[in-house]
Homo-oligomer: A and B are copies of this chain.
């Protein structure tokens, strides 16, 4: 019987959907799971595009975010908001504008470079969300620096075809030197719930990019302004060639197809990063392939074994230099310390930029900053601030590799007491951040990354331990000085009186300052103050401060 049913039902309807339809049906994959998250994600994606268009190209960012309620919520649906983000970036060329905003998987992010955008999806996910919830296109206004025009387009996505539909477009003469992009989308959202997250997002962006000027204008008309704290910027990331450890068979095949190199040796030298003549020659000897063959012969079917051997060796050969980290753009210790100081006004702050490492051929740099004491509110757990390629990550903290590492740190070992007045910042910069999902909220537990984050936290925490223990020693020394110094005036006077000749009892007045000076020097010299971050208190000043506070009776 069951078998008979099977025949009746054995008609599966196969069909193809476009990638636009895929992400439109599964909006939660890109972070648009409900009106709160969707509004937050809309702001994020537009802001991250804005920043990628500025600091990644050496421009000091000025980013303005306007969120306006355009229709209030009603019984039937959430409110609608217009989210506009303006930047002073390089602008979008007119020729690619429609596709860059209206075609999923068309992007400037498909190169090997450290960018905030990673998947080439974000802004298109905004457009998909906007048009499926409110039916409205995204409006893009943009001008490049060398252009005489400002272009604008209203763009939707033909979801079935994954093609842009330009609903309206035009151009204006440019009178000013303005360049940049303004992107505006109208989306369903829940501002009340999203508000704290959005403000926190902007605030953390200001921490990680203190060289940016950020404005957030809320639907209530509140203005959150984060002024530029420095003009110093990290050097922009640069595009890199693939590292041999990071390629796979298909990628090498496609590199072979497009290469101009005429020998296998040249192919290696020209198409990969960090392979020079010597390394390439040694490597090919190791693989057992002739350096002067035409690389394209490896594409032949009968050469599959050779190609496989080449790729396996490329992925694993230990003689290559590590992935180029000089193409990455870490924030730098100074800017991290500045950002943390500005945010927390701590008693102590320190950051470290770790040396570059690699996982699966992708270079990465971990940076860790710790702020301690001062105005930090005491908490049950240390505050964790996560960043990846200069993006703050706010959701799904407990799933993040940094959270895992942080919860396993024994802060007692570093002299930090509960409740914690401690904020730990972790920044991961990479040409490929291993996010858990396309919504870019948490980072996977890649062993190389995990260990670098642990090392980074330990490194800064060791400085913190030294600071805390020296501070404790300083406290102790101070107490000692105070407890001795407070007797100095009395002792000095007594000694002076004792040493005065009986015929001239007032002589003590002359002797007293000398004895006092002697005692001060002795006491000050006997106690060594610890050096804390290069600063060392002068014990003499402490002694003098104490003495100043002691009054002794005049000798009658």
Q: Which residues of A contact B (CB under 8 A)?
A: 2-3, 5-7, 9-10, 12-19, 22, 24, 26, 28-29, 33, 56-60, 75-77, 90-91, 96, 99-100, 103, 105-108, 110-111, 119-120, 131-135, 144-146, 159-160, 233, 236, 239, 248-251, 254, 304, 307-308, 311-313, 315-317, 396, 398-399, 434, 436-438, 444, 446
A120 to B12, CA, bound (A): 13
A14 to B96, CA, bound (A): 8
Answer whether A57 and B6 are a contact pair too, CB < 8 Å, given A76-B312, A135-B308, A444-B28: yes
Whether the pair B304, A17 counts as a contact (CB closer than 8 A) is no
Task: For the complex formed, measure the closest distance between the CB of A4 and the CB atoms of chain B, giving whole angstroms.
Answer: 8
One of B110, B132, B146 near A248 (C-beta < 8 A) = B132
A308 to B131, CA, bound (A): 11
Whether the pair A76, B313 counts as a contact (CB closer than 8 A) is yes
A120 nearest CB neighbor, chain B only: B17
A436 nearest CB neighbor, chain B only: B437
Task: For the complex formed, measure the closest distance between the CB of A85 and the CB atoms of chain B, giving whole angstroms.
Answer: 18
A239 nearest CB neighbor, chain B only: B13
Task: For the complex formed, measure the closest distance between the CB of A309 and the CB atoms of chain B, giving whole angstroms.
Answer: 10
Answer whether A248 and B437 are a contact pair too, CB < 8 Å, given A10-B144, A15-B110, A18-B105: no
Task: For the complex formed, measure the closest distance between the CB of A84 and the CB atoms of chain B, giving whole angstroms.
Answer: 21
Whether the pair B6, A135 counts as a contact (CB closer than 8 A) is no
Known: A135-B307, A398-B399. 19 other contacts (CB 8 A): A3-B145, A5-B58, A6-B90, A10-B144, A12-B90, A13-B239, A16-B105, A16-B106, A19-B22, A26-B119, A28-B444, A29-B438, A75-B316, A76-B312, A131-B250, A132-B250, A133-B249, A159-B254, A396-B399
Most buried by B among A12, A304, A313: A12
Answer whether A90 and B144 are a contact pair too, CB < 8 Å, given A24-B250, A131-B249: no
| Chain B residues near A132 (CB-CB < 8 A) | 248-251
Most buried by B among A77, A135, A396: A135
Task: For the complex formed, measure the closest distance between the CB of A22 and the CB atoms of chain B, giving whole angstroms.
Answer: 6
A5 to B235, CA, bound (A): 11
Whether the pair A107, B15 counts as a contact (CB closer than 8 A) is yes
Whether the pair B434, A59 counts as a contact (CB closer than 8 A) is no
| Chain B residues near A307 (CB-CB < 8 A) | 135
A14 to B107, CA, bound (A): 5
| Chain B residues near A110 (CB-CB < 8 A) | 13, 15, 17
Whether the pair A16, B444 counts as a contact (CB closer than 8 A) is no
Most buried by B among A28, A99, A315: A28
Whether the pair B120, A90 counts as a contact (CB closer than 8 A) is no
One of B58, B75, B159 near A250 (C-beta < 8 A) = B159
Whether the pair A77, B316 counts as a contact (CB closer than 8 A) is yes
A386 to B438, CA, bound (A): 24
Whether the pair A29, B437 counts as a contact (CB closer than 8 A) is yes
One of B10, B28, B111, B233 near A2 (C-beta < 8 A) = B233
| Chain B residues near A250 (CB-CB < 8 A) | 24, 131-132, 159
One of B77, B108, B396 near A312 (C-beta < 8 A) = B77
A404 to B110, CA, bound (A): 37
Task: For the complex formed, measure the closest distance between the CB of A209 and the CB atoms of chain B, giving whole angstroms.
Answer: 14
A254 nearest CB neighbor, chain B only: B160
29 contacts between A and B (CB under 8 A): A2-B58, A3-B58, A5-B57, A5-B58, A6-B59, A9-B236, A10-B57, A12-B90, A13-B110, A14-B99, A15-B107, A15-B110, A16-B99, A16-B103, A16-B105, A16-B106, A17-B120, A22-B105, A24-B250, A28-B436, A75-B316, A76-B317, A131-B249, A131-B250, A132-B250, A132-B251, A134-B308, A135-B249, A436-B437
Answer whether A19 and B19 are a contact pair too, CB < 8 Å, given A2-B58, A58-B6, A248-B133: yes
A17 to B250, CA, bound (A): 14
Whether the pair B16, A108 counts as a contact (CB closer than 8 A) is no
A99 to B110, CA, bound (A): 26
Whether the pair A59, B14 counts as a contact (CB closer than 8 A) is no
Whether the pair B145, A10 counts as a contact (CB closer than 8 A) is yes
Whether the pair A3, B159 counts as a contact (CB closer than 8 A) is no
Task: For the complex formed, measure the closest distance between the CB of A350 and the CB atoms of chain B, giving whole angstroms.
Answer: 28
Top 7 A-B pairs, shortest CB-CB distance: A5-B58, A76-B316, A12-B108, A132-B248, A10-B90, A9-B57, A19-B19
A436 to B441, CA, bound (A): 11
Task: For the complex formed, measure the closest distance between the CB of A334 and the CB atoms of chain B, giving whole angstroms.
Answer: 17
Answer whether A33 and B76 are a contact pair too, CB < 8 Å, given A9-B90, A145-B6, A159-B250: no
Task: For the complex formed, measure the closest distance between the CB of A19 and the CB atoms of chain B, giving whole angstroms.
Answer: 4
A111 to B16, CA, bound (A): 11
Answer whether A59 and B22 are a contact pair too, CB < 8 Å, given A313-B76, A436-B437: no
| Chain B residues near A106 (CB-CB < 8 A) | 14-16
A251 to B160, CA, bound (A): 10
A461 to B547, CA, bound (A): 73
A18 to B106, CA, bound (A): 9
A22 nearest CB neighbor, chain B only: B105
Whether the pair B135, A304 counts as a contact (CB closer than 8 A) is yes
Whether the pair A14, B58 counts as a contact (CB closer than 8 A) is no
